[in-house]
């Protein structure tokens, strides 16, 4: 049996740069990026099946009812969710899977996948977060206010994550996330085969073989 893949959840405030980090990670390393399902309309340049699976509310609610999502949540009036089957297959095949989801979803993933690695991408300060949201230019003033309000509620989830990645410099943040996942493969829980082999070999030596 091969080694199991690692499921990494990446969350962070809207505007913290987690999407960009994810894109760089899959460009440089062989991660499987789980594509979310959503009912929010595509933004300019977004492709169905690549950025998101875009669905109507009716379709999305059918998927919920059929148990086809690991987690889902409603956020700023739209559904977001994680299709289950593809993630489970990749993990079984030994591939490391990345999930970009908001915090409520992250907590639900942790319940179902207790070995999941939970990473929280944070800006160096709240002031910088605000400036980044303004600079993006894709949202209205009210939308930005809404997102900051949301961030002030989401901040309580930070403590439930395993690691905080301060996104000060993109390249550094990308390498830090990668290095955390690489190291996770040395976690004792992922080395059970090695431990079992050592136990049996050393027991034989102790018997004088």
Q: Distance between alpha carbon 121 and the CA centroid of its chain, in Å?
A: 10
173 — phi, psi (to 5°)?
A: -65, -40
Q: In whole angstroms, what is the distance from residue 186 CA to residue 179 CA?
A: 11
Smallest gap from Cβ 86 to a copy of itself, in A, equals: 28
Closer CB to a copy of itself, residue 86 or residue 195? Answer: 195
Nearest distance from residue 119's CB to a copy of itself, in Å? 9
In this complex, which beta carbon is closest to a copy of itself, that of residue 34 or of residue 167? 167
CA-CA-CA-CA torsion sign (185, 186, 192, 196): positive
Taking the complex as a whole, the smallest distance from the CB of residue 89 to a copy of itself amounts, in Å, to 27
* Spatial distance between the Cα atoms of 87 and 82, rounded to a whole number of angstroms: 9
> Least distance from C-beta 79 to a copy of itself, angstroms?
24
Check: CB of residue 157 under 8 Å from CB of residue 105. no
**CB 118 to a copy of itself: min, Å:** 9
Q: Which is nearer to a copy of itself, 35 or 148 (CB)?
A: 148
Closer residue to a copy of itself in complex, CB, 64/195: 195
Closest CA to 89 of 29, 10, 9, 7: 7
Nearer CB in complex with a copy of itself: 87/129: 129
Q: Which spans of this chain sit near a copy of itself (rule: CB under 8 A)?
A: 120, 122, 125-127, 130, 148-149, 151-153, 155-156, 158-166, 176, 179-180, 182-183, 186-188, 191, 194-195, 197-199, 201-206
Residue 141 CB coordination number (10 Å):
8
Q: How many other C-beta atoms can be found within 10 angstroms of the C-beta atom of residue 72?
A: 24
């Amino acid at each position: 049996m091969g080694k199991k893949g690692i499921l990494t959840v990446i969350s962070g405030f809207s505007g913290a740069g987690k999407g960009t980090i994810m894109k760089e990670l899959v460009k440089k390393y062989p991660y499987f990026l789980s594509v979310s399902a959503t009912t929010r309309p595509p933004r300019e340049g977004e492709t169905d099946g690549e950025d998101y699976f875009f669905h109507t509310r009716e379709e999305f609610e059918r998927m919920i009812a059929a148990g086809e999502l690991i987690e889902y949540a409603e956020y700023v009036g739209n559904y977001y969710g994680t299709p289950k089957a593809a993630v489970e297959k990749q993990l079984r095949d030994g591939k490391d899977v990345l999930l970009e989801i908001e915090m409520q979803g992250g907590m639900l993933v942790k319940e179902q996948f207790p070995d999941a690695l939970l990473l929280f991408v944070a800006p160096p300060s709240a002031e910088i977060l605000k400036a980044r949201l303004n600079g993006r230019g894709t949202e209205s003033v009210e939308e930005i206010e809404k997102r900051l309000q949301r961030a002030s509620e989401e901040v309580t989830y930070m403590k439930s994550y395993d690691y905080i990645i301060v996104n000060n410099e993109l390249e550094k943040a990308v390498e830090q996330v990668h290095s955390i996942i690489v190291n996770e493969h040395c976690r004792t829980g992922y080395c059970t085969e090695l431990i079992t082999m050592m136990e049996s070999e050393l027991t034989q030596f102790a018997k004088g073989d």
